[in-house]
Amino acid sequence: MAVLAVRGATQVDADERDQILEATAELVTEVMTRNALTTDDVISVIFTVTPDLTAEFPALAARKLGFHEVPLLCASEIDVLHALPRVIRLMAHIETDRPRSAIQHVYLRGATALRVDIAQ
């Protein structure tokens, strides 16, 4: 087993609790599905949000999806002037037998602009 990281990001239209929870749930679900993961494979997840998102912690969406025993952390991104607004990012540390080249990083909604080289 190797320890690898999976990245992902999504964007919401407004700083609203329901939008943050919905977009985060979609992102987490896609990361898990595309990489054939279960919560037992996940060591930890770090969520970050741009400074313009304060209505809810994205980790709450993961808890609602069953991440009860996985350590989760939320943080704020640095406030870069030209940064894409209203973005939720995650980095999940996982245990897997898959090679690094088989890991699918997930960029959804407007966040596809962050990584056009790997967004699907």
Show the tokens assigned to 73: 């952390």
Inside any domain, residue 14: yes
Residue 75 within a domain: yes
Q: Give the total number of structural domains in the chain.
A: 1
**Residue 80 included in any domain:** yes
Is the pLDDT score of 120 beyond 70? no
77 is catalytic: yes
CA 19 from centroid of its chain's CA atoms: 14
Q: CB count, 10 Å around CB of 44?
A: 14
Q: Is residue 19 part of a domain?
A: yes
DSSP letters, 27-48, are HHHHHHHHTT--GGGEEEEEEE
Note the pLDDT of residue 115: 80
The answer to whether 34 is a known catalytic residue is: no
Q: What is the CATH number of the domain that holds 81?
A: 3.30.1330.40
Question: Which domain covers residue 10, as residue numbers?
Answer: 2-115
Q: Is residue 120 part of a domain?
A: no
Query: Per-residue confidence at 116, pLDDT binned at 50, 70, 90?
Result: confident
Tell whether the model's pLDDT for residue 119 goes beyond 90: no
Tell me the sheet residues that pair with 48: 75, 89
Query: What value does the mean pLDDT take over residues 32-60?
Result: 98
**Set 16, 30, 34, 74: catalytic member:** 74
Q: What is the mean pLDDT of the chain?
A: 95
- Our answer to whether residue 115 is catalytic in this structure is yes
pTM confidence score: 0.95
**Who wins on pLDDT, 113 or 25?**
25
Annotation marks residue 107 as catalytic: yes
Task: For 74-95, write each residue's pLDDT tens digit.
Answer: 999 999 999 999 999 999 999 9
